[in-house]
Amino acid sequence: MPKDLVVFLEERQAWAGRLAFAAALARHWQAHLIATYVVRPLALDPHAGFAAGPALTQMLAEHEATAAAALDSARAEFAALTQRRSFSAEFRSSRDESGEALMLHARHADFAVLGPPQRQRNDVSALGLSEQMLLACGRPCLLLPDSWPGERLPQRIVVGWNGGREATRAIADAMPLLAAAASVQLVVVPEAKTRTLLGADPGADMATHLARHGVPVALEQCKGDDAGAVLLARCAALDADLLVMGAMGRARISEIVFGGATRTVLEQAPLPLLLSS
């Protein structure tokens, strides 16, 4: 069972539902909740590079005032949400952190909750691409749509399984959620390579493994050329609360160039994603 989780809150983005979702998870697991508020760098403002002279001084002052007010508001909302809690919690602010420094907030926790994939956004956030966080931090990352209800924890879960390392890691990372779910659909999209690797009944051994852990699992073998599209279709049909899958199932270069299940899901998924790499 996870002992701590971190939720990233980003200035100028809709994070209230994300925070409520993470708090509900922390309460369910009795885990320590860390909220890391990421102050938006001035460099992301497209107009910042055009200011000069007195206008630059005024712009910097306005930026600092806006950022400070947003930070205070987030801290107050966090305090109000967690003041009568059954779990421990802390609030952090992250300013001018990037790359490894930001990743450490996730690496020092069991679980990270992020916003939706960058591919579904119209702006660039301080965290950069959510999928970059995913690939770099080494922890399971749950990417949550901005409109997702904070109280809707996963009960109907779809798991993508192809026998690969990333999918194996994702299932292991998701085990606390899978064991507590009402139903888990293990979806395999058999192809020649999968059948050779997994035998005549692809997914049967993983379904047995999950059942030994008390997971209410059902195996489903689906036809299709696009595994990502098949997984999303099954999520829609089952009204799933969560899709669990490994990220970058192919070699990463071919995944970026040619697409693949990960790219399809990151571009189109309307539900929470738990991805591991």
Last residue within a domain, chosen from 112, 143, 174: 143
Identify whether residues 34 and 117 lie together within a single domain. yes
Take residue 148 and report the two structure tokens written for it.
């997702």
Any domain includes 42: yes
Cα 210-216-222 angle, rounded to 5 deg: 80
Report, as an integer, the average pLDDT of 191-212: 77
d(CA 230, CA 222): 7
Last residue within a domain, chosen from 143, 176, 194: 143
Query: How would you write the chain as a 3-class SS string?
Result: CCCEEEEEEECCCCCHHHHHHHHHHHHHHCCEEEEEEECCCHHHCCCHHHCCCHHHHHHHHHHHHHHHHHHHHHHHHHHHHHCCCCCCEEEEEECCCCCHHHHHHHHCCCEEEECCCHHHCCCCCCCCCHHHHHHHHCCCEEECCCCCCCCCCCCEEEEECCCCHHHHHHHHHHHHHHHHCCEEEEEECCCHHHHHHHCCCCCHHHHHHHHHCCCCEEEEECCCCCHHHHHHHHHHHHCCCEEEEECCCCCHHHHHHHCCHHHHHHHHCCCCEEEEC
pLDDT at residue 234 tops 90: yes
Identify whether residues 16 and 125 lie together within a single domain. yes
Identify whether residues 182 and 260 lie together within a single domain. yes
Identify whether residues 164 and 139 lie together within a single domain. no
38 vs 183, residue with greater confidence:
183
Tell me the residue range of the domain where 125 lies: 4-143
259 pLDDT tier (thresholds 50, 70, 90): very low
Identify whether residues 32 and 132 lie together within a single domain. yes
Q: How many domains does the chain have?
A: 2
Q: Output the domain CATH number for residue 58.
A: 3.40.50.620
d(CA 32, CA 158): 27
Q: Percentage of residues in the chain with pLDDT exceeding 70?
A: 77
Last residue within a domain, chosen from 99, 117, 143: 143
pLDDT at residue 255 tops 60: no
Report, as an integer, the average pLDDT of 169-186: 96
